[in-house]
Amino acid sequence: MLNQIFIFLFFISLITNLLCQTTTTTTCPSPDQQPKTDNENMYELEVIRYGEDEDQFFRLMSPMLTPDSPPLAHGRPVAFLVHGGFWKQQYNIDNGLLDKVAPSLCDHGFAVVLLEYRRGRPELDGGRGGWPNSNLDVALALQKLDSLVHSSDEGKYKTLLNLNKVVLIGHSAGGTFVFWPCCEHTDMFGIKLSFTPALCVGSAPCADLVHGFERQLSDEKVAVLNYMGSSPSYVNDVDTVRNSGVDVTSEHAVLQDGSPYK
């Protein structure tokens, strides 16, 4: 797990540099606007629901500006984090690794969305996720983020969030989910967004579900089958990185649990 955290810290630096180099009118927060401490009191944390299910929510975390901090001219770049766990109910927002890197992203000037979503299946582990519910939750959460910025009665989010610089970051199964909305052919169940992610980053993602199904991914050898409910070759909309419409970065350790990344 420590290796994964170190790799993510490297990606944080890479992502920050990539977003700051984009040729738009927006600017990245300057160092004097960012807290340089791990003290949790230096971060603002808000829980936002995007559906009625108990697992349909995300945590919005951002650096707390001091009274002497200059105002943000264009809002903060947004890191949209999706945890992994082989799509199983037992792995949640609090034990899915990415909660460990959210403060570091905040320290680099990002507003961080840490997503929870429906996982598992009723017949397997009492969960309420799997295809298509888990994917729908990703789409609904992105739609909620979009609506927060454009809603007339939520003006604070317009100054906080810069949707021109949204990076989707997912670990393991979460990598599958962040690649999915970036595919050119993904319909996202008819949900349309006003923005396009600037970058997708997957850490040990299962980026090829058909290959993962054929290789019998996971210790039980049925992770993809349990997630999809069938062979993924029968679901055209779920394939991920093959037809990506945005820049995609994938990190994969040589001995990482056999997750196919090609």
Residues 223-240 have a mean pLDDT of: 71
Q: Which residue has the higher pLDDT, 262 or 143?
A: 143
Burial classification of residue 100, based on how many CB atoms lie within 10 Å of its CB (0-12 exposed, 13-18 middle, 19 or more buried): middle
Q: Quick check: 120 pLDDT over 90?
A: yes
The tens digit of pLDDT for each residue in 10-22 reads: 555 555 554 554 4
Domain boundaries, the chain: 2-21+28-251
Fold of 2-21+28-251: Rossmann fold (3.40.50)
- Percentage, residues of the chain above pLDDT 70: 67
The tens digit of pLDDT for each residue in 152-175 reads: 565 789 889 999 999 999 988 998
Q: How high is the pLDDT of residue 64?
A: 86
User: Is the pTM value of this prediction over 0.85?
Assistant: no
Q: What pLDDT band is residue 40 in, cutting at 50, 70 and 90? A: low
Q: How high is the pLDDT of residue 174?
A: 92
How many residues make up the chain in this entry? 262
The tens digit of pLDDT for each residue in 46-73 reads: 999 999 999 999 999 998 877 776 667 7
| Mean pLDDT, rounded, of the chain | 77
Q: How high is the pLDDT of residue 161?
A: 94
Q: Quick check: 244 pLDDT over 60?
A: no
* Paired sense of beta strands 76-82 and 111-116, if any: parallel
Closest C-alpha among 204, 198, 205 to residue 179: 205
Closest C-alpha among 112, 115, 78, 120 to residue 96: 115
Q: By 3-state DSSP, what share of the chain in percent is helix, strand and coil, each rounded to 5?
A: 35, 20, 45
